[in-house]
């Protein structure tokens, strides 16, 4: 069981900070709750180890360091959780993103083991929706033999995301160390093409679960909104850090493809989450990434609900 407890998270939230993600996140048990007509489960795919400089390279260095220190992040690396959401809607079992698989980072790729430990038979998954084509969300589509990990599922890909990754200029503007992201995305998209459905903003995946355009992190990044109660947004990488994304949405993470558009998306999304009191699940927020957004000191804060 994780050592990050509800009490510790809420205590941290009360101070406007977040507990540091635990590097043993892959061993964390499943997190389940009901949302309207849906049953929602979050499991971990492990975590990523990233240089702290990726978080906000254009921010004032001292201000960034002080903010990260409030969350216990004082070293050169940041451990980013990877929270994968599964939605049960009647007879449909819908996976949102597929994790890293076995070819990205050794600390990730735990999705299938953690689903099995949670008593979930992956062969029963009927649909997969990809928020975007980065390795930690897409590369798990293929197993170690380059075969489909879920050969019977239907795969939903945002049309704008497909257009970007498959375009001749997809690698233009990306750092050279990320050129392999394009090759990897194209390989996975080609593998699922026969079972793929193109989707667009506002379309429904199933009744009560629809696509929300949240571009900027990538050109066609999407989130998913679930009806019921005050609403629930499965936000992918639209909001990626429990402090920076909320207190400084104007700071630009290195992973954003279109930084200025990502800033606009973050601001709009934060305002929507505050005004509607909608719940949020963030892929890289402290496990299980489920919480609310509140106003704080002219900006926002993430308040965990688990």
- Strands of the sheet containing 196-199, edge to edge, are 31-35, 38-51, 77-89, 92-96, 127-129, 154-158, 196-199
- pLDDT attached to residue 28: 64
pLDDT for the residue 283: 98
What is the tens place of the pLDDT at every residue in 224-257?
Answer: 999 999 999 999 999 999 999 999 999 999 999 9
pTM as predicted:
0.90
Q: Report the CATH fold assignment for 6-304.
A: Metallo-beta-lactamase; Chain A (3.60.15)
What residues contact residue 132 under an 8 Å CB cut-off, 6+ apart? 138, 158, 161, 217, 218, 220, 221, 222, 236, 237
Mean per-residue pLDDT for 149-169? 96
User: 């109660």: which residue's tokens?
Assistant: 229
């Amino acid at each position: 069981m994780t050592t990050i407890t509800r009490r510790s998270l809420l205590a941290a939230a009360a101070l406007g900070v977040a507990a540091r993600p635990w590097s043993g996140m892959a061993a964390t048990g499943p997190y389940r709750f009901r949302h309207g007509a849906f049953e929602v489960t979050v499991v971990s795919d492990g975590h990523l180890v990233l240089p702290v400089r990726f978080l906000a390279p254009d921010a004032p260095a001292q201000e960034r360091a002080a903010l990260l220190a409030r969350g216990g992040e004082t070293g050169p690396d940041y451990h980013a959780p990877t929270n994968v959401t599964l939605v049960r809607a009647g007879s449909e079992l819908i996976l949102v993103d597929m994790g890293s698989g076995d070819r990205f980072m050794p600390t990730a790729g735990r999705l299938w083991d953690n689903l099995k430990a949670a008593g979930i038979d992956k062969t029963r998954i009927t649909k997969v929706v990809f928020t975007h084509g980065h390795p930690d969300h897409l590369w798990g589509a293929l197993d170690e033999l380059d075969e489909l990990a879920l050969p019977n599922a239907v795969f939903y890909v945002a049309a704008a995301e497909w257009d970007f990754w498959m375009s001749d200029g997809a690698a233009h503007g990306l750092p050279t160390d990320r050129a392999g992201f394009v090759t990897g995305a194209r390989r996975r998209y080609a593998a699922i093409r026969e079972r793929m459905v193109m989707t667009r903003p506002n379309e429904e995946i199933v009744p009560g679960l629809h696509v929300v355009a949240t571009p900027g992190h990538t050109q066609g990044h999407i989130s998913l909104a679930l009806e019921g109660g005050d609403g629930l947004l499965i936000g992918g990488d639209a909001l990626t850090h429990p402090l920076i994304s909320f207190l400084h949405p104007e700071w630009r993470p290195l992973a954003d493809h279109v930084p200025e558009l990502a800033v606009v998306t973050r601001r709009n999304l934060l305002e929507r989450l505050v005004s509607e009191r909608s719940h949020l699940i963030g892929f890289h927020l402290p496990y299980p990434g489920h919480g609310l957004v509140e106003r704080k000191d002219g900006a926002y804060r993430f308040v965990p609900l688990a």
